[in-house]
Chains A and B, each alone.
Chain A
Amino acid sequence: MENDIDEIFKNGIESMDTEPSEEFWRKAAEDVLSRGNKANERKVAYWRFFAFILATALFVLGYFAYKMQVGLTKVEQQVAAIKDVRTQNPAKENIIVNNSDKDTKIVTTVKSTNRTEINKKQHTKPLGNIYASTSSYKNNSRQTAAATKDLALTNQSDPIVQSHGNNAIIKDEQKNPASEPIQVSATSSVNKSEPGQTNKTSIASTSERGQTNVTSVANTKEVPVNAPGTIQKDTNAHPKQVSEYVLKANQASSKIMPDTLKTAQKELPLRDSSSKFSISAFFSPDFMAGYKFKPTDSWGSAAENIIKSGEKQSFSYSAGTKAAYAVSSNFSISAGLSYEVFSFNSNTGTVYAQKQSDGVVGYYLTTSSGIVECPYYGVPNIGDSLKMSASSTRRYIEIPVQVKYNFVNKENYQFYLNAGLEVSIGVGETTSMNWQNFSGESGVAVVNGTENSRSTYFSYYMGIGANYKIGKCLSLYLEPGLHTAITSIDDNVSVITYPRLISITTGLTYHLR
């Protein structure tokens, strides 16, 4: 009998379900809502952090690219100036490069050669390669030398700074104490002559005692520059012996922006001096071009009809930034980050309570990105109905990677094709449902998240655009394009959907210099 009693209660109660009260469901809905809000806040905070990190990384990369390009451009300008002078003076040219920032001068002597002019590729090579290019001229007499400026000599006799052949020469007649380093400076000017004539460059010391030019030197010896403008005298030399020191250009001096170069330099075309990097900010209104539907069960076509007939798009947009790198004059690659908001209204009319496969009866709204359950306060029975209208918003962070080809490439404008892949990461979905039951009671239910929507989907992009330069560094572009999903935006529903979006992107591009 004891076991019987146990069995009676076990069999009688074990499989029993007790329907919770409406009060319980109300509390449960509140609990879920607050939990959802917390999760949503966490998610938003996470994405904000991610976007901040990405933006900072892009900014830092952009800054370094900019700095690198500025340095490169200056060297390119020097090279271009050399080319320019060579063109004008085929016999021999001297170019004096002065830097007001670091008080350093570069004396560059270029002998007339029959070498091909420096081409554009050399212009855009990094700093190291420019030096390589310079050294390749060595055998053809291209040399550089440097001396510092505004360091007055302290002795009665000045060493002489002289241009000789390819080098700047410091000539010291040993009148200075041997222990004292020679502080030299050079003020120079470009003496242009008529084409065909030999140029002469005067390089002189700038002591209080005036300037001296020396035209013949012998027994030169090369010495490194230990510090800008400081060379150690040869203490073993005979007092009457003339010591000569050849200054080699050091790397630091060659990086310097020339001021006096302006006189000898033609302004380079914009395209030659601009960077390969550019950054853009863009905005685009987005329009739904339709969905590709893929039914997964017998309910698929019904669900497809509900979406097709009930869903109407409202204002949607995307905005973001991207960075581009010009691989060549016609091709460039870009990557970016944008925030996309897609909104739509669902005019579903009457929604009937349905039993799901797990036995739960509820009101469900079918949308293109999945199913949203209306958290109705009551306990519906199958066949009960609600009048419902809803509005939904899906939000994504999008990462596009694109290749652009200019099929028309003029100085001030380009027409181009742009294509690539995009990853869209869902960062939030909100559905607001207005319902009214048969008793005339009404309410609004807001649900964050959509059942079955996928957190990430991929799409490809194709666009055609026009770019117009509105300044040395800025250009404006307009680019209509089509985004086609290649993976569905939802999963595990009767019909999965692949959206197609049309965007009309307008953007402003800044070309780094």
Chain B
Amino acid sequence: MFLKETEEQLIKGCLAGIPAFQQMLYKRYAPKMLTVCMRYANNQEEAEDILQEGFIIVFEKMSQFKMQGSFEGWIRKVMVNKSLEHLRKATKIYPVLNIDKVEDKFISQDDILNTIASKELLKMIQELPPMYKMVFNLYVFEGMSHKEIAAQVGIAEGTSRSNLSDARTLLKKKIHHNVTIETKNIYLKQSAYGE
């Protein structure tokens, strides 16, 4: 027996305070939004706390959603704001300077995606210094311009640019390192099996 709630019915049910609809909202969006929160948090536990707080805001402010545009997009915005707030509160953010430039050795995107799992990519972002993490997430995933990021985070536009550049450098390093290790492992495995 399938439930037939559309997004609109789900919202109306939640607004009417029906627990079953609220549970459904959690189940429908929690996994997706947890990934969003994890990009800003240091670990899953922290991300789940942000997610929980985010859902409370979602239920409280749901009446403000005008049924225009994507409801998922609206929830995502709430979660991003909650994550930024959390990041600001939890960490004293200092920009990381003097990033060593890595060798711009070409590794194809397919190679990387084949060798590195999504979870590892997520972990790489989590390991970024807070300010880099914030700027990188807002620029790449939320599609914000440096001007918007500067206004949102409270830094200069130039700082946003340099932070993004540094974040990319660090991530490249990590990818390079990761791919090298993975390649070595594959080589070792292949040698062991005499391939």
Told that A7-B109, A25-B26, A303-B1 touch, could you supply 15 new A-B pairs with CB distance under 8 A? Answer: A9-B125, A9-B140, A10-B140, A11-B113, A13-B35, A20-B31, A21-B44, A28-B26, A36-B18, A358-B3, A360-B24, A448-B19, A449-B20, A451-B20, A492-B4
Q: Which one of B3, B45, B168 has the greatest number of beta carbons of chain A within 10 Å?
A: B3
B22 contact set on A, CB distance < 8 A: 32, 35-36
Determine if B2 and A299 form an interchain contact, defined as CB atoms under 8 angstroms apart. yes
Partner of B51, one of A14, A24, A375: A24
- Measured between alpha carbons, how far is A7 from B113 in the docked complex, in Å? 10
B100 contact set on A, CB distance < 8 A: none
Q: Which one of B106, B112, B113 has the greatest number of beta carbons of chain A within 10 Å?
A: B112
Contact with B along A35-55 (1 / 0, CB 8 A): 110111011000000000000
- Measured between alpha carbons, how far is A34 from B22 in the docked complex, in Å? 11
Is A450 in contact with chain B by the CB < 8 A criterion? yes
Q: Which one of A32, A43, A364 has the greatest number of beta carbons of chain B within 10 Å?
A: A32
Is A452 in contact with chain B by the CB < 8 A criterion? yes
Is B27 in contact with chain A by the CB < 8 A criterion? yes
Q: A13-B121, A357-B3 are in contact. Are A18 and B19 (CB under 8 A)?
A: no
- Measured between alpha carbons, how far is A447 from B109 in the docked complex, in Å? 49
- Measured between alpha carbons, how far is A356 from B24 in the docked complex, in Å? 10
- Measured between alpha carbons, how far is A40 from B172 in the docked complex, in Å? 53
Is B38 in contact with chain A by the CB < 8 A criterion? yes
Determine if B39 and A13 form an interchain contact, defined as CB atoms under 8 angstroms apart. yes
Chain B interfacial positions (CB closer than 8 Å to A):
1-5, 9, 13, 16-24, 26-28, 30-32, 34-35, 38-39, 44-45, 47-48, 51-52, 55-56, 59, 104, 106, 109, 112-113, 116, 118-119, 121-122, 124-125, 136, 139-141, 165, 168, 171-172, 175
Shortest distance in angstroms between B193's beta carbon and chain A's nearest beta carbon? 28
Q: A8-B113, A28-B26, A360-B24 are in contact. Are A2 and B168 (CB under 8 A)?
A: yes
B116 contact set on A, CB distance < 8 A: 12
Q: Which of A124-132, A199-207, A240-248, A365-373 contacts B (4 or more CB under 8 A)?
A: A365-373
The 22 sampled A-B contact pairs (Cβ below 8 Å) are A1-B172, A2-B165, A2-B168, A8-B112, A8-B113, A8-B175, A9-B141, A10-B140, A13-B121, A17-B32, A24-B52, A28-B52, A31-B52, A35-B59, A38-B17, A39-B18, A297-B2, A360-B24, A448-B19, A449-B20, A452-B3, A494-B2
A209 contact set on B, CB distance < 8 A: none
Is A493 in contact with chain B by the CB < 8 A criterion? yes
Is A470 in contact with chain B by the CB < 8 A criterion? no
Q: A5-B175, A13-B122 are in contact. Are A20 and B30 (CB under 8 A)?
A: yes
- Measured between alpha carbons, how far is A24 from B59 in the docked complex, in Å? 17
Is A27 in contact with chain B by the CB < 8 A criterion? yes
A375 contact set on B, CB distance < 8 A: 23
Q: Which one of A4, A8, A21, A371 has the greatest number of beta carbons of chain B within 10 Å?
A: A8
Partner of A24, one of B30, B119, B171, B172: B30
Partner of B52, one of A4, A27, A36: A27
A2 contact set on B, CB distance < 8 A: 165, 168
